[in-house]
Each structure stands twice: as C-alpha cells, then as structure tokens.
C-alpha cells in the first residue's frame, strides 16, 4: 500500500465545526480502499473512521480537529 503523511497544518477549515484535507483522485484513487490513521502521542498510528466527501476529481477527508497522521491507499 502507498501512503501520504500529513500534518495538522495541512488541514483547512471548511466551516465552523469541520476541518478537511483535500486530495486529487489522481493522487489517492477513488477512496474505496482508503485508510486514515491518526498519530498518537506514543508515536503509533490508530485507524479512525473519518468521513469522506467526493467531487468529480477531489476527495475530502473531514475531521473536527486537525491532527498528524497518514493515509494508506492502493494504487
């Protein structure tokens, strides 16, 4: 599986209650095998069930607060 590491600073505020990461479908695929993991204080990753939103060419990963983590996906 391929991965993309992201930081808290990569999130943008989408509205008053949500933050999002934005990726092109060309970067990570259509999102069917997408795994989002959050980096813990111990340095381990934990799988989270983050909501996804799709447009024709973008995928948005939504969360209530920014966090450090990674995305795992099949190419």
Threshold 0.85, pTM exceeds: yes
pLDDT band at 38 (very low <50, low <70, confident <90, very high): very high
pLDDT (0 to 100) of residue 62: 95
User: What's the length of the chain?
Assistant: 75
- The order of strands in the sheet holding 58-63 is 12-13, 19-24, 58-63, 52-54
Chain segment 39-56, per-residue pLDDT in tens: 999 999 999 999 999 888
* Whole-angstrom Cα Rg for the chain: 12
Partnered with residue 3 across adjacent β-strands are: 72
pLDDT (0 to 100) of residue 20: 96
Question: Largest alpha-carbon pair distance within the chain?
Answer: 37
Q: Is 20 exposed, middle or buried (0-12, 13-18, 19+ CB in 10 A)?
A: buried
pLDDT (0 to 100) of residue 32: 66
């Amino acid at each position: 599986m391929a991965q993309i590491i992201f930081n808290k600073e990569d999130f943008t505020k989408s509205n008053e209650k949500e933050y999002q990461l934005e990726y092109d479908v060309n970067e990570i695929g259509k999102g069917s095998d997408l795994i989002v993991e959050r980096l813990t204080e111990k340095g381990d990753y934990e799988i989270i069930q983050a909501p996804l939103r799709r447009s024709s060419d973008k995928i948005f990963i939504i969360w209530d607060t920014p966090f450090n983590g990674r995305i795992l996906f099949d190419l």
